[in-house]
A and B are shown apart, each in its own frame.
Chain A
Amino acid sequence: MMTSVKPSFTQSTSTNILLAVVIIAWLSPLSWLLMTSVNPNASGGFVVPTSFTLDHFVTVMSGTSLRQFLNSLFIAFTSATLTAILAAFAAYPFSRLNIPYKNTILWSLALLRILPQTAIIIPVFLTGRALGLLNTGGVILVLTLMNLPFAILLLKNFFDTIPSELEEASYMEGATLYQTLTHVVFPLSRAGLAVIWFMAFTTAWNEFLFPFLMLRSDQAFPMAVGLYAAFGQYGATDYGFLTAYSIIYTAPAIFVYFLLKRNLTTGFAGVGVKG
């Protein structure tokens, strides 16, 4: 837009070169990852593989690392589902009823959203230790706790955009509240619910700090902690295994994003607090 009004030859050439540099800078880690993961003689250097193998992926998909993959799936799936359900049930009345101090509550939710994890990590650890929740269940609860404020905020804004006439009509037709919710409101807010679910899923999938603090055995680790333990622990790093592990760990996050690309714009629009 800046330069496009009538770009001169030099201008367009220089921007093209700049963009090419950006591609190289940003994609070289990815290309290294892909090449190393299929190279039987994997090393830290940038080597174009001379032969091809999927052994590293087979190794990752067995034993402890498979276990960690399943742990990650379980944690992220449960926490995202819990977040979406709890947020939906809280956000709907929040959107439709007149609750005293509504604006204050909205702003508090926004504040909680930006509160760093370090602000609650010590009480989380203390209650976890006291209640015997330094395990997968505890991690799921904490991640739900961290995701909930933003989820409620976003979903409330989303419900606000759904015209209440539709619910009124369904009431006139004699539908119960439950029927109105399941047949009118939730189907209409599929996009919003999907955004919440996937945001919570990716957050939980990527989360490192809480599982790192709360889990102690490598059988219980999600992939984030498993990968960290693997490359921090051994002096001579097994690059083939680690790159394959990284690719398998990254794939769901990327898949989810492209599945949801269109809906994400709704998520961005919903970020602002509307009084």
Chain B
Amino acid sequence: MISTSHVWLRRSAKPMAIAAIPAVLFILLFVFYAGWTIWTSFTDLSLLGRKSINPSFVGFDNYIRLITRDGFLQSVWTTTVFTFFSAIVGQCGIGLLLAIIMKSSRFRLKSIVEFAILFGWLAPDVVAAFMWNAFASSDGMINVMILQPLGFESVNLLNEYAIEVVIISNIWKGTAWSYLLFSAALDTVSREVIEAAYMDGANALQRLRHVLLPLLRAQIATNLLFVTIWTYAFFSLIYALTGGGPGRETEVLSIYMYKQAFDVGKLGYGSAVAIAMMLIVGGLSIFYVRQNKDQTR
């Protein structure tokens, strides 16, 4: 079954396969866990009590509950808003813009710009959460440095504008990834193409829209796919920053899932939320891949 075209490996195929077994077991466990979650989503398994030992099969009850109770749908909306503004508009948009500007600019502090956005990316999620928590508090930097000098009352931004703070902190955190990727992609675009467009009289905006964006379409699509998937399931930054609150204002799907499963204790329902999340992310991925294929054809 397992063969090789490399002569020197013919006699070594067996020890090599044996050495790979631990990793294979880990991967199989991973797949098994995913399957286990699907199975749990059809039961009323709970964290404590009788239902934690003897869960019963409830069919699609958990999934019906997803739609009939408003908690889930509300979280879908919150997550979508969060993903759209922080990942697609923020990280991808700013990342692309920055990459283009940085390539051309002769700004002396370019390395500092790069370090600045990289710092956001490298700082652990909880550190970012702590910093933005302190920033947005009523005696924090945003109030003291910006709002008070402008004559506004000092407010606790995490109470009043929680979703905005969460979105901005995620843009601050994640833009570097898109920037690095687009920066590398721009290196592959030959200078002659841009110069030719310039000679033909295209202005900066036209060069961006008709030359650069079409050339970078594949990379942009791939990056959109990645950041959407990650951001849709993002947990730690938001949880540490707001805990989903105030009320349920920033309760994205991953936090909703965590709370339903481990705070409320409904492991079955939590599993259904997790599976629904996977389906949404999978659907989005297929949409992106399709879109990209159609356009390159």
Interface residues of A (CB under 8 A from B): 1-7, 11-12, 15-16, 18-20, 22-23, 25-30, 32-33, 43-46, 86-87, 89-90, 92-94, 96-100, 108-109, 112, 114-126, 144-145, 148-149, 152, 164, 167-168, 171-172, 177, 180, 205-206, 208-209, 213, 223-225, 227-228, 231-232, 237, 239, 242, 246, 249-250, 253-254, 257, 265, 268
Contact = CB atoms under 8 A, between A and B. Distances in A.
B131 A208 contact: no
Interface stretch (B34-42, B65-73, B158-166, B286-294): B34-42
Main SS at interface, chain A: helix
A119 B37 contact: yes
Given A118-B274, A249-B124, A257-B122, A1 B113 contact: no
B150 interface: no
B104 A7 contact: yes
Interface of B: 1-9, 12-13, 15-17, 19-20, 22-24, 26-27, 29-34, 36-37, 40, 98, 100-107, 109-110, 112-113, 116-120, 122-135, 137, 139-141, 144-145, 172, 180-181, 184, 186, 189, 191, 194-195, 198, 204, 207-208, 212, 226, 229, 232-233, 235-236, 239-240, 243, 253-254, 257-258, 261-262, 267, 270-271, 273-275, 277-278, 281, 285
B105 A45 contact: no
Given A112-B31, A253-B123, A46 B141 contact: yes
Main SS at interface, chain B: helix
Contacts of B113: 19, 22-23, 26
Given A19-B107, A29-B132, A246-B130, 18 more contacts: A1-B189, A4-B104, A4-B106, A20-B109, A22-B117, A29-B128, A44-B141, A100-B2, A116-B274, A118-B233, A120-B30, A120-B34, A122-B36, A206-B124, A228-B130, A228-B240, A239-B134, A265-B184
B117 A43 contact: no
A86 B144 contact: no
B27 A112 contact: yes
A15 to B, nearest CB: 5
Contact of A122 (B16, B20, B116, B271): B271
Contacts of A19: 101-102, 105, 107, 109-110, 113
B2 A98 contact: yes
A117 B127 contact: no
Q: Which residue, of B127, B181, B191, has the highest number of chain A Cβ atoms within 10 A?
A: B127
